[in-house]
Structure 1
Amino acid sequence: MKIVIPHGIEMVEEALALLRGAARVTVLPDNSEATLRAEISDANAILMGAKPKLDRSLIESASGLKHIARLGLGVDNIDLQAATEQGVFVTNNPGLTADSVAEFTMALLLGLAKNIPRCDRVVKEGRWEDRSEMIRDNVELSSKTHGIVGLGKIGGRVAVRCKAFGMRVLYFKRNRAPDLERSIGVEYTPFETLIRESDSISLHAPLTAETTNLFDRPQFEAMKRTAFLINQSRGKVVNEGSLIRALRERRIGGYATDVYEDEPPDPKSELFRFKNVVVAPHVGGVTRESRVRGHLAVAAEVIKALRGGIPKNVVNGEVLEGFKV
């Protein structure tokens, strides 16, 4: 049995030891498609991050592949249809990074509301007189309304934290969550209403055809001019061109993100010139604790699949129809 780990994925030693006890583990030395194609040809499992892209031709070239295991949540870089046709399990790792992402969402929200990155630069660069600008711009979160798009494991945890800050919390998702409405005190509202009424909005929906460009020019025009938008979903959920236009025209209060249309983003992008934009290098779900939890969980499920079992969190459920234990 052979397990492939793409270049750039740094597995914790405990998880690597588990995998090496069950199969031959190949860690790719570079991120070229040629290397990936050569090594995946006789692989039985591959661990995946947000990159590389695993398209149909790569999946079909790996005749012995049984399991594609995503270390995170999003699977938009994997051709699910091709994997299903080949009888390959595709799994993700929901919940294990939910607390980390929820905490990071609040950090981004606070970064915007309290201008923390700007405050840091003012002190370090000896521009103490600029503090008056932050005094005018800083806002409180208490009694404000926060809107959550996608109330899953992450969105639910964000809701709990926002409620602890004294915020009213609205949410939108395809299926209502009455249990969370009762237990947390969140309010379901149509998407358009959430956009109009929220003082801040955080995005936690997966990237699909339906959510691509979910926030475009009409949504920015409907937002409060003081509202903050935090993207913890995928870069393409927000139309970057429309976002830049909205920031340029001061149609929104600010934007914070950990994800981008293209990663890594162009450091010369106009997006990074705005003072009311807070950015991070796609690290929201990465902490020491979440890495250990996530990597050990994925390793255990990969081993289960290689031994003929059904792993947890299968994304392409159709593949189970012809599967017998």
Structure 2
Amino acid sequence: MSTATNHHIVVAQAEVFTSPLQFSAPPGINITQELYPNTTPDQVHERCRNATIIVLSYLRLDAIALSEAITPNLKFIAIAAVGTDSVDLEACRKRGIIVSNCPAANVESVSNHVMGMYFAARRNVIRMDRVVKDGNWFKNGHGPLVSGKMKDKNQELCLTCDEETVGILGYGSVGKKVAQLSKALGMKVLIAGRKGANGERTGTNIERTPFEEVLKQSTVLVVAVPRCPETMNLISTTEFQKMSCKAVLINISRGGIVDENALVQALKDRSIFGAATDVFGTEPASAENSPLLADGTTDLNLTTSPHLAWYADKTMENYLTTTPTNIRNFFLGSPTNLVV
């Protein structure tokens, strides 16, 4: 059990949750709490100064915020999310701060979002919708403008599911679910090995195809890897040049893993057919900070969503259950779902 008898919980992003988080402590431990709908970077130091426990979703906690000078009493960070890249984990290790997350909490919603984005990109749904609503279905009486949106660089028509080869980068919970859904639609699935490595087998005897081969063979490339130094700019100009002009890329991992400038150029050159992303290098994304939204990108086959692939009742239920459980288990001395 935690040796401290008094804990102060700061919920820094309460607006993320559809219902209030309910915390409980075993006998002998007293808890107080502060709930903030949202916390901006300039408010972190003041609001977290007295916390022994911080609950967050995507709020950035850097090494300065995690220093003894700023958060002297901090013992535990409960991340109500799957991704952990918003917290400086090395700084936590050095101070002995325990960190937990909610692994696999969003598998269903994110994998569903992948499939929705696949269909949007492959069937060019957004651009066709715009053509129809702008009154350009027939342009100058010369036939359907929409059909041109369905052709690739070689003027060949759109692929169907049974013709697709899906390459999956990152074979965690989401990657596995995407593979399952893809196979159900009649798609061939390739699981990529690490970049620069040969084909490899995991402990579960999952055969992996070399990274370079996945790029060449895939007509759909799904990026589902965590953000870390090794995965930054994992897909850039060199990788796009190896891909088929029929390929669509889907990124539901983190911004920075796909080089945004290179992606825009690949779409403009039509070296790939289309792309869809739920994440951006800078968030919230805008025309001022993201090449994907800058001038000249409006007519590209690019579908975007505002980092909400996780958003679903099932995900929220998992967060509302797992996060308080992680905190209670910390009180009991048996912390669960540990990251650090």
Q: Give TM-score scaled by structure 2 length.
A: 0.84
Q: 1:119 aligns to what?
A: 128
The residue correspondences of 1:204-283 to structure 2 (distance < 5 A) are 204-267=224-287, 269-272=290-293, 273=297, 274-283=299-308
The residue correspondences of 1:55-94 to structure 2 (distance < 5 A) are 55-60=62-67, 61-94=70-103
Q: 1:54 aligns to what?
A: 61
**Cα drift, residue 101 of structure 1:** 0.6
Q: Which moves more between the two structures, 83-92 or 169-178?
A: 169-178
The alignment partner of 1:235 has SS state of coil
The residue correspondences of 1:82-231 to structure 2 (distance < 5 A) are 82-129=91-138, 130-134=145-149, 136=151, 138-174=158-194, 176-177=201-202, 179=204, 181=206, 187-231=207-251
- Alpha-carbon distance in 1 for matches of 2:25, 2:123: 47
Which is helix-richer, 1 or 2?
1
| Amino acid in the other structure paired with 1:11 | F
**Cα drift, residue 285 of structure 1:** 0.9
Q: Does 1:311 align with 2:335?
A: yes
Q: Does 1:44 align with 2:52?
A: yes
**Cα drift, residue 123 of structure 1:** 3.7
Q: 1:287 to 1:113 in 2, by over 3 A?
A: same
- 1:38-62 CA-to-partner distances (Å, cap 9, x unmatched) read 2211111111222x21011111221
User: Unaligned stretches of 5+ in structure 2?
Assistant: 1-6, 139-144, 152-156, 195-199
- Alpha-carbon distance in 1 for matches of 2:203, 2:180: 15
- The equivalent position to 1:298 in structure 2, one of 296, 313, 323, is 323
The alignment partner of 1:95 has SS state of coil
**Cα drift, residue 180 of structure 1:** 6.9
- Are the aligned partners of 1:28 and 1:35 in contact in 2 as well (CA < 8 Å)? no
Q: 1:192 to 1:2 in 2, by over 3 A?
A: same
Q: 1:161 to 1:111 in 2, by over 3 A?
A: same
- Are the aligned partners of 2:261 and 2:292 in contact in 1 as well (CA < 8 Å)? no
- RMSD of aligned residue pairs (Cα, Å): 2.2
- 1:229-280 CA-to-partner distances (Å, cap 9, x unmatched) read 1111111001112222222222111111000000011235552424310100
- Are the aligned partners of 1:9 and 1:49 in contact in 2 as well (CA < 8 Å)? no
**Cα drift, residue 295 of structure 1:** 2.1
The alignment partner of 1:299 has SS state of helix
**Cα drift, residue 108 of structure 1:** 0.5
| Amino acid in the other structure paired with 2:185 | F
Identity of aligned residues (%): 30
Q: 2:142 aligns to what?
A: none
The alignment partner of 2:272 has SS state of coil
Q: How many residues align?
A: 308
User: Unaligned stretches of 5+ in structure 1?
Assistant: 182-186, 317-325
- Alpha-carbon distance in 2 for matches of 1:30, 1:189: 43
**Cα drift, residue 131 of structure 1:** 3.1
Q: 1:239 to 1:135 in 2, by over 3 A?
A: closer
Q: Does 1:25 align with 2:33?
A: yes
